[in-house]
Amino acid sequence: MAAFVGSSVSVFVGDRSVLSCSRAGRRVSQSGRRAVATPVTMSFAAGVFEKSNPYADELKATARYISQRGRGILASDESNSTTGKRLAIVDLENEEVNRRDWRELLYTAPDLGNYISGAIMFEETLYQKAADGTPFVDILKDQGIFPGIKVDTGLTALPRTDAETATTGLDGLPDRCAAYYKQGARFAKWRAVLRIGDGCPSDAAIIENCHALARYAQISQAAGLVPIVEPEVLLDGDHDIDRTAYETEKVLSYTFRFLNEYDVCLDAILLKPNMINPGGDYPTPPTPQEVASYTLRTMLRGVPGAVPGIHFLSGGMSDAEATENLNLLNTIEGSERAPWSLTFSYGRALQIAVLKTWAGKPENKEKAQTLLTALAKANSQAQLGKFEGEHPSPEAKTRNWQPLRLV
């Protein structure tokens, strides 16, 4: 075994050098004896993804389709436990039939496919059928909406940190992804969560979560699923908007470093980050112009142009804020330089008002579906920078908070 001192560095996979660089210096054995300097050259295997992944063209086409202008993602991947908490808002029991009826209302909303290009589903929902026996997957496809699947299994405490978390779900993931693709899913989602606080996010939390995101993305692409990479920096706390911007930029830097380490094809992923807001307990609310400006700057600094779409999450924002901020993001000075689609992957901002309108009553279904389509249209217009007028949500200014829950 030998070490290189002041001379060269090599990275090996098996017996193949995948990255080597050389500088003037000498090679020294572990016994300390001088050895002959060995010249090394830099070498990269070009086009590996396109040549080795049979889904390469399909993955890129799917990512482009989902991130097309004027459309976004309906995030309906809440676990059964979280869905139960949502249903409790309208006094419905957390039963399979109620969960099915709720998702059926969402997926069968008339004209939803004009504004939504993908829908993230929970595992139960991916295999469910509507009351008339039609698989949800087929209902979505008939609307021009790609079915997606949440593949992580939740959050767990990260030992020896200040209440930081890691995301679970890598065990058995290759087999699950293969089964999801067979069922009709064409993209996947994995959520990592980083919190801002005294010493947080720690390097340990960032490295753990970004490594898991990259490994998940690699596995997903191998199975034909476009990975949504979601490194969420939470809005909990009293930090200012500059702190959020700094920590988000740092997390994005690590995220793409690990994606590159694992040879993930950036043309065939989608990114789902947070917008740049101050902490929810910060005393001075930001203006939409501040949110848009900080968010655009952070994305331009941290996201490679090869990524087709950035699909922002709506957590912590009101329905109106989610739409107005997205609209400004696509009209503010500098947005014309954005190489990716700046669009949405909203859950609460598309669902909570609809759920309350429905309230589990069949006679309210049509009204609730009309509201869902109106909300989707409003955010579609915002993606195009054309939203104006009154927001369609009856609770437009109410912020949608959800407590962090561990496995």
Dihedral (C-alpha) 90, 95, 97, 103: value to the nearest 10 degrees?
60
Choosing from 123, 164, 208, 230, which is the catalytic residue? 230
- Token match 């995301």: residue? 167
Choosing from 247, 272, 321, 377, which is the catalytic residue? 272
Burial zone of 86 (CB within 10 Å; 0-12 exposed, 13-18 middle, 19+ buried): buried
Q: Who contacts 234 (Cβ-Cβ below 8 Å, separation ≥6)?
A: 193, 194, 195, 196, 274, 315, 316, 404
Q: In degrees rounded to 5, what are phi and psi of residue 9?
A: -135, 135
Paired tokens of 207: 């490295």
Q: Who contacts 304 (Cβ-Cβ below 8 Å, separation ≥6)?
A: 256, 266
SS3 232: strand
Q: How many CB atoms lie within 10 A of CB 161?
A: 17
The answer to whether residue 230 is catalytic is yes
Q: How far apart are CA 63 and CA 266, in angstroms?
A: 10
List residues with catalytic annotation: 230, 272
